[in-house]
Structure 1
Amino acid sequence: MAQPSKSPKNPGAADKTLIVLRATLEHSRFTDIVEASGLAKSSVHRLLQSLVDYEFVTVNEEGNYLAGPAAMALASHAFKNIDISERAQPFMRELARKVKCQVHVGARTRNEAVYVAIEESEMPYRIPSDIGDRLPLHCTSIGKCLLAAQSDDTVRKYIADVGLPRKTPRTISTANALFAELYQVRDCGYAVDDEENVPGIRCVAVPIRNHMGRVDHAMSITTLALEKTMDEVIELVPFVVETAGKISRSLGYWD
């Protein structure tokens, strides 16, 4: 995941205030804030006092600096108005052009996933899908990403509720096989669908994280099995990871 942009070489007064505010949101001890900001102690102390006065920063009993009520309120308003489909679309468009695959973003809703954003590729065919389409979690790449982010107990409940119905001869249909697949997803960071939900369709998906680091969405690229082998689809994973990282960053996630 990309880190926040570097500070300007010759920061002005406004730049310095933002540099100190960002450093304070990442660190609480004064010495760490000074080191992270790269500014003189006297400047940091003066700017911190201004941030405290305006309630963007507060100081606890131990003398540590924390996000203040003004910063918390500002963040709350910002996250309340986030529309992931609007945030994701420019990045999805770039990815679709790069990998020549259809791109989907999906969210979990109880025991299913649902498409919330779609970007078609420049290929001379369209893989049928619409915003609002619902997908099983155990046999789609987006679904596996979302399911892998849950606890084992939640996965067991899903299995008990849904029963792992077969969609194609390749569908995972046993609890042991599904857990093995999800452990692999957690380990490698991406999920695959090799004609497991729809015959002739291959997908790979990676998680998208929100400002809390939680996986509420996942993004996939989809292609025809006649067009690409599964190995060829997996070779495109770094591009999907990069794009998901950009979307996560736009949602407020810093790794």
Structure 2
Amino acid sequence: MTEERKYWVPALEKADRVLSVVSLEPGKYKLIDLSRQLAINKSSMFSLLHTLETLNWVKKGADDTYSLGEAIAVLGSSLVKQFDLNDRFQSEAAGARDRLQETIQLARRIEDHILYLGKVEALTPVRLQSEPGMRLPAHTTALGKVMLAQLPEAEWKRLYPERALTMQTPNTIGDREKLFQQLRQIRQQGFALDDQESVVGFRCVAAPIYNIVGDTIASVSCSMPLHQWEQKAADTKREIVDLAKRLSGLN
């Protein structure tokens, strides 16, 4: 067995095949047609279609043929919005970068990590190592902490079942109770700070980006060397909070 097939789920593969056929010719195939087309027995096909229909991934018409359901449209819309957000970030963040002369970054949360999505880099001698596609533990970054702060406290405990946390630098919060205490403060103030917790010698501020129903979908940040932070802290906080609001569509 190849490594990529080691954890394979055959039912998901079959569902993917069903969705592929239905998407190419919606309203054409009935259960028996899909069974023959994909060489899946009728009993298994019935279970697949029943589950997909219940989940709104497919819908059955009056003539018993199948088309894609509303859940697929929602997922597709979310994917488009993800790219729209990155495009808007590139445009909106350029102004903040020019005013601050510092690099601006965009990330989203995946469980207890963050994934960098975008970066608008300032022309400075000091370059940040983070790049789109890179992941870091959420609790070590302002980007991650500001997104964690928006979650219910029960979710914090699920994400961090152990008291001890991974240390990225000597300044990283290593105790989950201290992290939870800081997250409560972040939730109230609307932004998060990173004091050399991810990279020694750098401070960072981040603010959350919300969707239309108020869920946190991403965050933006600005990081800079300590000597620059002393001069720019107030302006940087204001710029990042304002940028996050613009990207949330709140302004």
TM over 0.5: yes
Matched, 1:247 2:235: no
1:220 is aligned to 221
Secondary structure of residue in 1 paired with 2:228: coil
Deviations 1:214-254 (A, max 9, x none): 1010000011123323x8424421111111111111xxxx5
CA spacing shift, 1:147–1:76, aligned 2, 3 Å: closer
Conserved in 1, the CA contact under 8 Å of 2:203 and 2:223? yes
For 1:122 and 1:91, the matched residues in 2 are separated by 17
Give the alignment of 1:1-255 within 5 angstroms: 81-82=80-81, 83=83, 84-160=85-161, 163-229=164-230, 232-249=232-249, 254=250
| Gap regions ≥5 residues in structure 1 | 1-73
What is the CA-CA distance between 1:80 and the residue it aligns to?
5.5
| Gap regions ≥5 residues in structure 2 | 1-72
> Which letter maps to 1:241?
V
For 2:203 and 2:96, the matched residues in 1 are separated by 17
> Which letter maps to 1:165?
T
For 2:163 and 2:99, the matched residues in 1 are separated by 36
TM-score (norm 2): 0.65
Conserved in 2, the CA contact under 8 Å of 1:108 and 1:217? yes
Question: Identity of paired residues, percent?
Answer: 27
For 2:171 and 2:76, the matched residues in 1 are separated by 45
Structure 1 segments, 4+ long, off by >3 Å, are: 74-80
> Which letter maps to 1:189?
G
What is the CA-CA distance between 1:130 and the residue it aligns to?
0.9
For 2:97 and 2:163, the matched residues in 1 are separated by 32
For 1:144 and 1:101, the matched residues in 2 are separated by 21
What is the CA-CA distance between 1:125 and the residue it aligns to?
2.8
> Which letter maps to 1:245?
K
Secondary structure of residue in 2 paired with 1:124: coil
Deviations 1:55-101 (A, max 9, x none): xxxxxxxxxxxxxxxxxxx9998665221211211011111111111
> Which letter maps to 1:225?
L
Conserved in 1, the CA contact under 8 Å of 2:163 and 2:176? no
1:43 is aligned to none
Conserved in 1, the CA contact under 8 Å of 2:143 and 2:219? yes
Secondary structure of residue in 1 paired with 2:139: coil
Conserved in 1, the CA contact under 8 Å of 2:112 and 2:139? no
More helix by percentage: 2
For 1:110 and 1:78, the matched residues in 2 are separated by 22
CA spacing shift, 1:162–1:93, aligned 2, 3 Å: farther
- Larger RCO, structures 1/2 (Cα 8 Å, 6+ apart): 1
